[in-house]
Chain A
């Protein structure tokens, strides 16, 4: 028994104890995986940036090639539209109209006087709007190409990478960008700005204090 205690006091024993603890400590605290994957991650980042640039180059921008007549409907064309609205709908040429004035081909009836193209009616200079359809229509303005490129580059990479493969033109992009998302909320269960929650610009809606 005494010899055991004596051994414990010996320098070599304490040194051994220390080193085992040290090894254990390093193993536990330092995230060695992070070091290993750092190179890999930075490589991935470069690759992802390239992918986003390719995506932006291949994206089809407004106006579409077959420019629709401004004053009469073209029965031969087909439109995609925003589908969801309670009262309004926006088609892929940027026209906003009442649900009642949606033609059989999915396009807005451009002959109705309250149908408007690239309408920013409820949008603010912050590029946030109170009506979803106005957000999409406004976002479709050809002049917003640069802004949208900036938006795409600034988005959370992961989300953008997943979504990219399903977005083919400015209409798809605007439909998506105008939706409320993780950037629209604070404290998770409230909107940052309940009245202007649909945004196509860079950054989140302004915080409203109550």
Chain B
């Protein structure tokens, strides 16, 4: 039996070895999990006509009896007997109020007479539709993998990924009218299309025209193990009869840049892109994207590609309906960024949307996506030779790529030199169909119209054009957010960031200085404009930003002002030596002006002190969300704080954005400065200026802070496989040590306890997700405390506990003195941030603003048992949180700069003062339909 024991020992040892080998292998799957873990939820709608029901739309709101009278009058006019019709009884609460529609039920025999029903007060009669919505959720990978992940410490942050295609059949070629192009003989022949994706199987029955497949990964195969690349390639160049691609005769160049685990590196892309330039690819599809628009080697390589005449088409991303979720490279000016719609022309929920966040905080984002097309339940090739349905913007992008391939094959040989990334983008954008219900940051210029694009292209002359081509701030919902708030004297100037497309040449400039022409008969005299624009338009594009401000004369005026801007773009001629081509374009401007609103209604949003990824690691504000470790949506009222903006606008407040330090605004114009989730440091001058504003100018400050704890920050560091280095957060959810500097003059301070939990205030349920709490607060304040868990302890120890302690999370204080404002501090920003919103607390914001403007605390807070009114200084035992040793915030900060020892504040930048353009008055008026695109 001793022998047996030895055998057993050997056996156990071997078993142990083989298990550890397996763990090594499993790590690979773990990486995979990190990439695929984005669960997606989407709603699927289908609708069908209800046979015997019609919706009767009236021209106004009428009581129930009046509506019935109108319907029966119309019916008798159409010879329908009363007994064969009825009006559907509505049982909802709205029944008691006047309405503008009714549902008419009618006997089958009289259906054909409905068309004859007429009445002065009936606007329309349309068939009733039944909508069926079903919730589809996409399975997470098995949980054991996440278990492994916890231990691995290896992690991919959200980087560039093949945008997930989510998996009814409808032929996409038919839906976009590709068949009309085929009938005219244009099938993509002679067009080199590159597909950067997960590869393609060697012998796939759908593909007759694959010129070559190249592998740029470390897996040494060009085969597709996932199906993403096959699907995308099938949509463009597939020739199956069940699910044909758009351009079946185009020449396909397959670039495999993702492994089967969806891993990819910038360096693989760089080499593969270089080869695409070498092969003189015409159009390149990138159904991929990531949030890192500061990956310079990648971004500049994309510029290089378009500069080499490669037309780049890319998916805008699947991170909707949240705003501020645009993916790179689709967010670049020289790239055609494609969003998704369903077959009923609604913007797909998943489709990422505007604005670009490159320009923040001082500027304003550009419009993206550029164009939208079908991206929901599109039918194309699967791995095995059949067809399948998938959804996602990575499905929408190849629709545009295929369309471009068809367009290129329709161009005659002698016209070929008119084709370039600039002119093709211009043609697609000028021919798109506007969707009625979506705004410009969701749909761009509208939905792809292939046949129209063909017409525009066939008569194209090289020129410059603008996106958007006009600014009508009175047009809702298209011009949201511009149309959502009128402008007034003393408001921060409104900035519109226009993209200039130049089809004349890869390089160009804006000639001389653009001119401003206010319309004398349309109140143009009431506005001032100022321009800033790219020194050179390269490649094929540049920006032209217009700042608009109201003149003092209109302080008490209300109305619409109009004018236009004229600018000329010049390019060195491509085919005429020393000649220069030039093109002049007009930008119509129409704005709504109101009298300056009272101070109590005006709120200033601090954008300057928000920092975001890229490039620094600014961690998420809710530590529970694991799959998206980064704060990357811009923290702007028109991106992830859009919900709050809409709410405050509805409540009658006017919100302006401060993109510069606190020294750059006049406190007398505003009741409240909103500081939400700040990550930036403060200039000493800002701290003293704000103190003066609060004590002498009557300004109030509302702070929505977030978690900070240096141990938790160390804990949430991770090794990022994309950049092959460790990622350490630069601050917590927000920068509490910096905020404490700002709050110091008032005797207020915040702690590094990370708290979490739910509580109820009056009837409002509140979820406090990873927030900070109050450490000190001045005498004569009100403090709201709630029992919350110590989430920091949980994260550090790895064990969850139900232990709750009463934590002070809200403090309200009136600064003494006649001109003293109010100071309000709340510990968590998640309940007003759309990014991780579970239950909103807009009611709290209302209550706080009410307290500020009226000095009265709302009954909901007043009656809460957790609220204490304190005469003396409030103090909780605990230390002031310190800045983390050796952190690199200074690399991303506008306030700090590197210095031997500790980083020190930079010199305070001077406040930007815009130079207003000289007006050249003309007696004109803007065209009635400004949105008619420029004739190319």
Using a CB–CB distance below 8 Å, which chain A residues touch chain B? 9, 11, 14-15, 17-18, 21-22, 24-25, 28-29, 83-87, 99-104, 109, 159, 162-163, 166-167, 172, 176, 179-182, 184-185, 187-191, 194
Contact = CB atoms under 8 A, between A and B. Distances in A.
A38 to B, nearest CB: 15
Given A11-B3, A21-B15, A182-B267, A188 B309 contact: no
B242 interface: no
A25 B18 contact: yes
Contact of B274 (A14, A15, A176): A176
Contacts of A190: 296-297
Given A22-B14, A182-B271, 4 more contacts: A25-B18, A100-B578, A182-B265, A182-B267
A181 B270 contact: yes
Interface in B319-375: none
B308 A181 contact: no
A159 B271 contact: yes
B257 to A, nearest CB: 12
A24 B298 CA distance: 45
A180 B301 contact: yes
Interface residues of B, number: 53
B458 interface: no
Contacts of A87: 507, 536
Nearest to B17: A25
A104 B8 contact: no
A183 B754 CA distance: 43
B563 interface: no
Nearest to A99: B572
22 contacts: A14-B4, A18-B7, A28-B18, A83-B307, A83-B308, A84-B506, A85-B307, A86-B538, A99-B507, A100-B578, A101-B578, A103-B577, A172-B278, A176-B278, A180-B270, A180-B301, A181-B270, A181-B274, A185-B266, A187-B725, A189-B615, A190-B297
Contacts of B10: 18
Contacts of B275: 159, 162-163, 166
A34 B830 CA distance: 53
B295 A189 contact: yes
Nearest to B7: A14
Contacts of B143: none
Interface string B292-317: 10111110110010011100000000
Given A84-B539, A181-B274, A187-B725, A104 B4 contact: no
Contact of A85 (B278, B295, B507, B575): B507
Given A28-B21, A181-B274, A189 B575 contact: no
B513 interface: no
A17 to B, nearest CB: 6
A189 B162 CA distance: 18
B274 A189 contact: no
Nearest to B539: A84
A85 B453 CA distance: 29
Contacts of B615: 189
Contacts of A182: 265, 267-268, 270-271
Contacts of A25: 14, 17-18
A17 B267 contact: no
B34 to A, nearest CB: 16
B723 interface: yes
Interface in B1-19: 1, 3-4, 7-8, 10-11, 14-15, 17-18
Contacts of A176: 274, 278
Given A104-B577, A188-B267, A191-B297, A179 B304 contact: yes
Most buried by A among B266, B297, B576: B297
B296 A188 contact: no
A109 B275 CA distance: 29
Contact of A17 (B11, B214, B536, B722): B11
A184 B11 contact: no
B307 A104 contact: no
Nearest to A98: B572
Contact of B277 (A17, A85, A162, A179): A179
Given A162-B275, A180-B270, A187 B724 contact: yes
Most buried by B among A100, A167, A189: A189
Closest 4 A/B residue pairs (Cβ): A182-B267, A84-B307, A189-B295, A14-B7
B15 A189 contact: no
